[in-house]
Chains A and B, each alone.
Chain A
């Protein structure tokens, strides 16, 4: 995959393009600072995302989905590959230049309990980004923030309150309002609902959908919950141990999952109906450690259809029609 050409032609509809993105973390260094062992968190991920669409990224813990989300925002400096945002290559931008771009791309973090500063009021939290990025004149900041709070379903008297006074769902609304305060185009939602209760989850998902329609946002929605991802996404990418194993539109992925891992993942979800008896594919064993991934296809240690070739050669990530990509030797037979 490394030889793949880096295309530079610009499609105005594509807001975000990721080409062969790679992020490694050093595990061991020699005294001179040379890295002798590294953990490959994201390994050669490529995709294109059109404006106004939602890309869902699913996978189990340790598969690199959060690292991917952060690397797109350059919160982690990517080790290789390119990130093209609105036709501009942002991979090598310095942090000062990134500041302009950050106005257009924001993130909502997983844990609403630890991602809000405990010593500022809701008003302070929401006005700071507006002030820093000069979104509106100083005199209008308060009105702007109150308007934003109304949009996100927060009452106006919350303005003077502190984060600890709120429940998880309300805090997540504050996080969403903070991300949207700078009028971004792309929002990366890193497991925004997994810390919340079912009934609150539905409120937050509906809010995210409503805001997307109103403001024309593009989401990258990272989650381990397939049913939530299916609900909110247009396109879905399935990750396993750092690499994308399958990518396609929601309809394609759900009606015809190509990769055995995707199939197993779908069958593992308990269905809330006692009469439905699922033909469950139960994967054996655990996810291998990303610091020491298996050779060849990374999934071959748990794959029910593993062949000889799987343990030797990594399968190619190919398009099987209509942008439905997968990486599996079974499909090449």
Chain B
């Protein structure tokens, strides 16, 4: 019998825990510090982007070792665009979005390093609109209300569990307005909530406003979740697998709704899913992630018509479509590697069928294929050609 490499002795676990406790304590203190706004104000690299993530590292300090869930991710979300992030479970796509919202569960999960620059528009006292660029990764938790909810909103994965079962839909929707608009009256809040329910295409808003979550179907709850996300007029919406739990016909309704809404609210959408079909249909730009890293990014056309990374190619070939007619499905052998103690070489090496000698060396850098298309693979490096 081969020895199980996942097995750790009690001594080893205690050593890891001691090491982790030190780092976690430092990061927790940093998260809850008091500081002036100037400390986390910064500048955008490109003015046309609404969100820029640069070299983000989000780690989970577990007893088995450090899990690098997001490992040096850089990506941009332009204004008024839909950016799709695609990857399998455990690739870090949800953790990336949670990092942007600063919802990573501490003290185990921490943003270790990196920058998340967000272009926020705020109303100053004299009703002028001021643009401010925040570095979300450096913001202390006490100031996070400046962006969470009112600038960036999130539609969560499971509409079944994300609503509070003991309050009516109306109460939960009104709360958003109360929090984001100081001194709002009950009537104003209700008016706004009704407007939002109408916007997401709920046929009988009066009835839904007074209903409890358990009285609604899955599709209706997801609409309510979207209404709640939109109630504070956010500039960026993060939709994290928001249609995965729904049936196909209901999914089609919700996607249709999201597409309409993007134009109406004049914002950007960060769409996280594992379904390539949804990405192809919705996204302008696509980011493919694998084991905590971005391995390929480009416009939807580039990724779907000219995929370059062996993983992207394999992913597209292994999905049966209504039009494919082959006898055997292509499959990527093996599994996603263990997230603890990642190797130094390319993480996809063990499953790749186009390996070079070089692949055992350093992790490949991002290679520019076209102005918008980047791929992290040794196959496309200059000296290879």
Stretch of A12-20, A111-119, A267-275 contacting B (4+ beta carbons < 8 Å): A267-275
- Of the listed residues A61, A200, A206, the one surrounded by the most CB atoms of chain B closer than 10 A to its CB is A200
Tell yes or no: B316 within 8 A of A by CB. yes
Kindly provide the distance from the CB of B286 to the nearest chain A CB, expressed in whole angstroms: 9
A231:B249 contact, CB within 8 angstroms:
no
Interface size on A, residues (CB 8 A): 45
Q: How far is the CA of A197 from the CA of B88 in the complex (A)?
A: 6
With a cutoff of 8 Å between Cβ atoms, the chain B residues found around residue A272 in the complex are 276-277, 279-280, 304, 316, 319, 321
Residue of B nearest to A153 (CB): B333
Stretch of B17-25, B26-34, B250-258 contacting A (4+ beta carbons < 8 Å): B250-258
Residue of A nearest to B281 (CB): A270
Tell yes or no: B318 within 8 A of A by CB. yes
Tell yes or no: B301 within 8 A of A by CB. yes
B330:A202 contact, CB within 8 angstroms:
yes
A266:B322 contact, CB within 8 angstroms:
yes
Partner of B304 from A165, A209, A227, A273 at Cβ < 8 Å: A273
Q: How far is the CA of A99 from the CA of B250 in the complex (A)?
A: 41
Tell yes or no: B79 within 8 A of A by CB. no
Tell yes or no: A79 within 8 A of B by CB. no
With a cutoff of 8 Å between Cβ atoms, the chain B residues found around residue A93 in the complex are none
With a cutoff of 8 Å between Cβ atoms, the chain A residues found around residue B331 in the complex are 199, 202-203, 206
B322:A271 contact, CB within 8 angstroms:
yes
With a cutoff of 8 Å between Cβ atoms, the chain A residues found around residue B250 in the complex are 60, 286
With a cutoff of 8 Å between Cβ atoms, the chain A residues found around residue B323 in the complex are 271
In the complex, per-residue mask of B1-22: 1 if CB is within 8 Å of any chain A CB, else 0: 1101010000000000000000
B247:A61 contact, CB within 8 angstroms:
yes
With a cutoff of 8 Å between Cβ atoms, the chain B residues found around residue A202 in the complex are 318-320, 329-332
Residue of B nearest to A232 (CB): B320
Tell yes or no: B141 within 8 A of A by CB. no
A157:B88 contact, CB within 8 angstroms:
no
Kindly provide the distance from the CB of B273 to the nearest chain A CB, expressed in whole angstroms: 10
Tell yes or no: A131 within 8 A of B by CB. no
Tell yes or no: A254 within 8 A of B by CB. yes
Tell yes or no: B205 within 8 A of A by CB. no
With a cutoff of 8 Å between Cβ atoms, the chain B residues found around residue A224 in the complex are 247-248
A271:B249 contact, CB within 8 angstroms:
no
A280:B88 contact, CB within 8 angstroms:
no
A270:B1 contact, CB within 8 angstroms:
no
**Besides the known contacts A198-B319, A202-B320, A206-B328, 4 further A-B residue pairs in the complex with CB atoms under 8 A apart:** A209-B328, A227-B321, A227-B322, A265-B248
A-B contact pairs, 29 of them (CB 8 A): A60-B250, A157-B1, A197-B274, A198-B274, A198-B315, A198-B318, A199-B314, A199-B315, A199-B318, A201-B318, A202-B330, A203-B332, A203-B333, A226-B248, A226-B322, A227-B320, A227-B322, A264-B249, A265-B249, A269-B277, A270-B251, A273-B280, A274-B280, A274-B304, A276-B280, A282-B253, A286-B217, A286-B218, A287-B247
The 5 closest A-B pairs by CB, nearest first: A270-B277, A202-B318, A202-B331, A231-B320, A60-B247
Q: Which B positions have Cβ atoms within 8 angstroms of A?
A: 1-2, 4, 6, 88-89, 203, 217-220, 247-253, 255-256, 274-281, 300-301, 304-305, 314-316, 318-324, 328-333, 335-336
Q: Which A positions have Cβ atoms within 8 angstroms of B?
A: 60-61, 157, 160-161, 165, 167, 169-170, 197-203, 205-206, 209, 224, 226-228, 230-231, 254, 264-276, 280, 282-283, 285-287
